[in-house]
Each structure stands twice: as C-alpha cells, then as structure tokens.
Structure 1
C-alpha cells in the first residue's frame, strides 16, 4: 500500500482478503496510467513480492466474487503447493495433446483432413508454412486493459497479489479470468494448474507476463516473442490449443500474434 500511495497519491487504494487468505491490494487509476503502474509493480516485484495485474474489479469485488463462487479449500491448498512443484513444460504439452484429441475424436476425417489438422499441432510441420524470421517483434497494443469503451469512466484497477510470478495468479485466484463454470476452455475443462503451467512456460520461454485479467479476457505482455518460424510455430500451437476462440488458425497466429509483444486472448 505504501508503494501505491507513493506512485499514485491521488488514487483510490483498497485492500481485501479472500476466504482462502489471499491478500489483494489495489489502486484505481485512469486507463492512461495502468501501463506505467503495472511496469513499476513488475520492476519492483523482486523487492516487494507482490505481482501486479490490471483488471476491472476492485480488491473487495474480486474477493467477494472468489468467495461467492466457492472452492474446495483442501483442493485449493493442494494446487497452491503443486503449482511450484509441477513439471510445467510437460503439463503444457499435455494441454496441446488433449486439445488435439478433443478436436479430432469422433469427427469424420479422411486421411488428408487428419494430416491437415496434425500440421497445426506439430511445430516441425507448421514452421515451414510460416513466414521467414523477422528482425524484430511486432508491436502489440492492449485491447482491453486501456479500452475506454470497456472501462467505466475510463478507470481500471491495478491489483497486487503476493506471488512468485503472474503464472501463480490463476491458482491463487481460481476465478480471476474466464467463466468459472468451464474455465474458459470449452468442455475440456482445463484446471487452474493447466493455466499456471502454460503461463509459466510462456514466461520462461518468451518473457510473457500476465498483464490484464478479468471475465473472459486475458492479456500478456511478451518481452521476447519468438521471431524465427520454429519458435513462432511452437508458441502458435500452444496458443491455439489454449484459446481456440481467439486463435482459430495456427498459421495466422504463427505469423502474427506469436511474434507480437502483446498476446490478447478471449474466450466465448
């Protein structure tokens, strides 16, 4: 709270705690200020231990919503422990495999159709279909975090949660983004640990950090997006498997979003 008072002396500052004991501290600021405040919070994360994220909910609103949806405390505690210990690369790969199986099981594919689908899930097959390496990343622009049309009175909350990184937030706050009835992934019902595995992998591989999360929306700031076809193909496949509502074509994603400094995802 001292950090927020120092950075935003004019802002409304609030604190709340969820029923599982997660503290949330936040400042309500104009959309023009969210980027700077988030960056300050990210730079000082090593000092404070608090990870920032932009959202439409106040700390109190977030806590009430989390508690209203409810959770199994024992399962939540197990997930909080497992998110540190799990093999996130293996779990992320399993999400891709499960999506491929879920997408193709029971469909009347002939061999040619099946091979076409397989190309979108195999980076070695997808990479040759992408454009050559680029010199620098595409400049990404936030779609929702700074959208005045989606922000009442042009304001957003920048909330902070004690976490090792943004990848832990889906476990600490299981209903932070996407519809809690299906976690934003259709009938496959991925869990918060799946979310955390992919977010951690993306953070380590490409410097992707959780930036904005609310409802069905998620945005990541990407410091080192893949610029060569092989890396872009891998990122595109994982984005395609994770959020087919937004990433509906792996080739387009490999040439576009995967090489951008902002990944904006939305679940229908």
Structure 2
C-alpha cells in the first residue's frame, strides 16, 4: 500500500502534505508550478498552485486520474495554450473555503443589475423575455448519464488538441479554478471565487465538471443539460451573467444562444 502514496512533488500541493492520500497511477514527466510573486503581488506562496505535465496527455490519461480523485484529492484539468500563463506562474491561487460565502443566485442578481444599468434601452431586447428583471437560477436538469462518464467523454474530445495535464488539490472540480488561480475571466470579474460558486451550483444542478481551461476559456462537461427550449432559455440567462461574451459576441441574444444549449453535453466559455 505504501507504493500508492502520493509522489513527493504532489504532496506539496496540500497544506497537510497529502496525508492519507494515494494515487496508484503512473504519472508522465512533469513538475509543480509556483505562482509568480511579481504577478500575484502577494509575496512568495506557501505551496505550489498545481502540478503540470511536460507533454500533452491523452483522454485516457485524464480519465485514469479523474477516477482516482476521491482517493488522491487531485482534480485533472487539461491546460490549453500551454506556453502562457501556466509555465510562468501567472496565476493567483486562493482559498477554496471562501467559495462557501457566495451563491449562484447572488452572483447572477448582482451582475444582471450592474449590466442592465449600463445597457442602452434598445439593447435590452437581447435579454428577452426577461429584460431588466433577473430570472434567478434555472431549475436543475435531469441526469442523462453519469457525470464522470460525460467528463471522460469531453476530455477525450479535447485531448486531440495536444494539451498538457494539470493536477489541482481540490475537493471538487469547481474548486480547482480557485486553487490553481485561473485568471481566464479576469476582464469580466476580477475575483474567481464568486464565479466558482456558480460552477459549484452547475455541478449540483446540471452534473457539470471542469475539464479544461485556457488563457481565457473554460470547458465544462454537462450530464444534465436542458432538453426543452424554455429551460434552455433560463440557463442561457445564467450563462449571460457568467460570460456575456458568449452571447453578445456569439448569436447576439438569449433566445438564439439558448438554441445551442438544448441537449448539449458540453458548455464552452470564452472571455474577450
């Protein structure tokens, strides 16, 4: 059983040194990534932000590590655009316990109010049928498959892009965004913690899982997507507050964007 203990470099990701955790999976060559003190402005970090493989991995590699998450405490993330910011530590890790102080409803309401005030009145048509009134979070979806299996499927689809693997010391996939210090949505929301609360809620309501992150992109698997237009429209309203660029620079309004969500098992987000 001792052979299953976390390698020393992975143990450093945990505040307790990874006590009691195990990972009987052979890892590819890689190393831990430390936050750049000059980038964070917070001085030297107490521990690395995450571990990163030297070379691209396969979807099967991702799946093996995902299956052992409950024992290792390490969530796998495919890292798109590997040269930046991962390799140079341009990340700002935070304490995932802070996520508990935020809710998807609170985030959605606050963003809706702020953006509606700034929008020209004629632009409110983009938000039909809701307009200036935030509808709040959508009802949960119905599971169409096991969330882990859908995450494995999406990892296999994305791995063809030849991405390295990140391993993050996180209890759930949403928390990985905060722990690793991902900054992809910086131009929309400066602090990742409230947005991770939204992703946690999507985990619970839609069987979502974080599979990949890029410089300004996020890929989620979805095991319980909306399957009717009305539900999809409500979910689209959530997506608008989470990532306005998806709607504004995509189809242009909620109704057209919602059509893309019906029955879809992958949600992609991109911030300008």
Q: TM-score, normalised by structure 2?
A: 0.68
- The answer for the alignment partner of 1:21 in structure 2 is 47
Shift in CA distance, 201/120, structure 1 to aligned 2, threshold 3 Å: farther
Q: Answer whether contact 1:26 1:58 (CA < 8 A) is retained.
A: no
Give, in whole Å, the separation in 2 of the partners of 1:115 and 1:199: 22
- The answer for the alignment partner of 1:80 in structure 2 is 96
Describe the SS at the equivalent of 2:244: coil
- What is the aligned counterpart of 1:253 among 245, 257, 261? 257
**Residue correspondences, number:** 232
Query: Once the 2 structures are TM-superposed, how far is the Cα of residue 208 of structure 1 from its aligned partner?
Result: 0.7
Q: Answer whether contact 1:184 1:216 (CA < 8 A) is retained.
A: no
Give, in whole Å, the separation in 2 of the partners of 1:36 and 1:261: 19
Query: Once the 2 structures are TM-superposed, how far is the Cα of residue 226 of structure 1 from its aligned partner?
Result: 2.3
Give, in whole Å, the separation in 2 of the partners of 1:60 and 1:103: 30
Which protein has the bigger helix share?
Answer: 1
Unmatched runs of 5 consecutive residues or more in structure 2? 1-5, 8-21, 36-44
Q: TM-score, normalised by structure 1?
A: 0.68
Describe the SS at the equivalent of 1:224: coil
Flag the structure with more relative contact order, 1 or 2, with Cα contacts below 8 A and sequence separation at least 6: 1
Give, in whole Å, the separation in 1 of the partners of 2:127 and 2:163: 45
Q: 1:103-148 CA deviation, whole Å, 9 max, x = no partner?
A: 32154427x9598462596559x99xxxxx99979x9967994464
- The answer for the alignment partner of 1:160 in structure 2 is 167
Q: Answer whether contact 1:96 1:121 (CA < 8 A) is retained.
A: no
Q: Answer whether contact 1:15 1:59 (CA < 8 A) is retained.
A: no
Give, in whole Å, the separation in 2 of the partners of 1:163 and 1:211: 13
Structural mapping, 1:26-175, within 5 Å: 26-30=52-56, 33=58, 35-56=59-80, 62=86, 64-66=88-90, 76=94, 79-83=95-99, 85-88=100-103, 92-109=104-121, 113=125, 116=128, 118-119=130-131, 145-146=158-159, 148=161, 155-174=162-181
Unmatched runs of 5 consecutive residues or more in structure 1? 128-132, 149-154
Query: Once the 2 structures are TM-superposed, how far is the Cα of residue 203 of structure 1 from its aligned partner?
Result: 0.5
Alignment RMSD: 4.0
